[in-house]
Amino acid sequence: MSTKIILIGALSLSSDEFGNSRLKLTLDGYTLEFFAQAFLNNTTQNLKRAFATRPVAAPLALQTPSESPGSPNRAFFMKFPERDPVQNHTEQFHDSEFEDVFDLYNACNGIVRDGFLDVEELNTYTPDEAEELNVPRLREIWEHTRTGCLQCREIVQALHTVRKTTSDVAEYIDPKDGPELDIDQINSIS
Amino acid sequence: MNNREENSADGDIPAIIAEKVFKKWREGKSLIEIAREMNLKIAEVKRILKATQKSQLQEGKVNP
């Protein structure tokens, strides 16, 4: 099975930006251009995760665009420019729009075992829950924490401190603001 | 504007929701427990909680 390389010139495209982007594909002496969204329907989330988890290259199972000649089963591989600075690579574990060490901490409920967040906690989720939490990505982050990353350790400690601090949350929720809303009546906030 | 109508650090989330999620987390509740008790999606709790935690840290209450 042949493969194609689709080069994307930027790493930080939003889904909207990406939806308006055109991809240029050159192979076997011909060039195709098409709107990215035309064949990336329903894969935006995969793409966003790929950006977050595969800094160098992300093979994705994508539909062959109808404009493309050749086999309809042809696979496409998306190759992203490599992030040069090591710092940029590690920063994604500490502060990311997607999953980072904060999410790992929360998914593990702050439980620490042998000096690291207890990765076994990730096994307690149902498949649906694991998908929502992006457990594979959380495992990558956990592997990063095992390198002894000082920043991860500090974030975990800071979250422990925030959670255990004795200052009353009432300073955060002013009772004079009025009656509380019935949270149970809220099905979705999005 | 009433404080309860303001948005949280996340921007899209009513502050009262973020406050409730954060309070439950500080009480030791897990993501799943919070989602069930507040009838929210896990992904929403995850997003709310992280935004609130980062906001707390950035405010300098605790430096990571």
ipTM of this complex: 0.82
Q: How far apart (Å, rounded) are the C-alpha atoms in residues B7 and A4?
A: 45
- Please report, for residues A99, A167, B18, the alpha-carbon distance to residue B23 in angstroms, rounded to integers and kept in the order given: 22, 12, 8
Whether residue B44 and residue A190 make contact (CB cut-off 8 A), yes or no, is yes
* A102, A44: one domain: no
Nearest-Cα distance to chain B for A129, in Å, is 7
Which of A143 and A182 is assigned the larger pLDDT?
A143
In angstroms, how far is CA B38 from the centroid of its own chain?
Answer: 12
**Per-residue pLDDT reduced to its tens digit, B6-64:** 555 555 667 889 999 999 999 999 999 999 999 999 999 999 999 999 988 887 655 55
pTM higher than the cut 0.95: no
Domain boundaries, chain B: 3-55
1.10.3230, 1.10.3470, 1.20.120, 1.10.10: CATH of B3-55: 1.10.10
Test the B interface: residue of A96, A149, A162 with most B CBs within 10 Å: A162
Domain that holds residue A120: 86-167
Residue A49 scores a pLDDT above 60: no
Q: Does the residue A182 lie in any domain?
A: no
Residues of B in contact with A178 (CB under 8 A): 2, 4
Q: Does the residue A151 lie in any domain?
A: yes
Residues of A with CB under 8 A from a CB of B: 95, 100, 102-103, 106-107, 109, 125, 129, 132-133, 151, 154-155, 157-159, 161-163, 165, 169, 172-174, 177-178, 180-181, 183-184, 186-190
Question: What are the residues whose beta carbons fall under 8 Å from the beta carbon of A28, sequence distance 6 or more?
Answer: none
Do the bridges between strand A30-35 and strand A75-79 make them parallel or antiparallel, or are there none, so unpaired?
unpaired
* A50, A35: one domain: yes
How many structural domains comprise chain A?
A: 2
Whether residue A181 and residue B54 make contact (CB cut-off 8 A), yes or no, is no
Domain stops at, among A79, A100, A119: A79
Of the candidates B13, B16, B51, B33, the residue with the CA atom closest to the CA atom of residue A109: B33
Mean pLDDT of A23-36: 45
Mean pLDDT of chain A: 63
* A108, A158: one domain: yes
Q: Does the residue A152 lie in any domain?
A: yes
Q: Does the residue A190 lie in any domain?
A: no
**Of A70-79, A143-152, A161-170, where does mean pLDDT reach its minimum?**
A70-79
Which of A20 and A39 is assigned the larger pLDDT?
A20
Q: Which amino acid type is present at position A183?
A: I
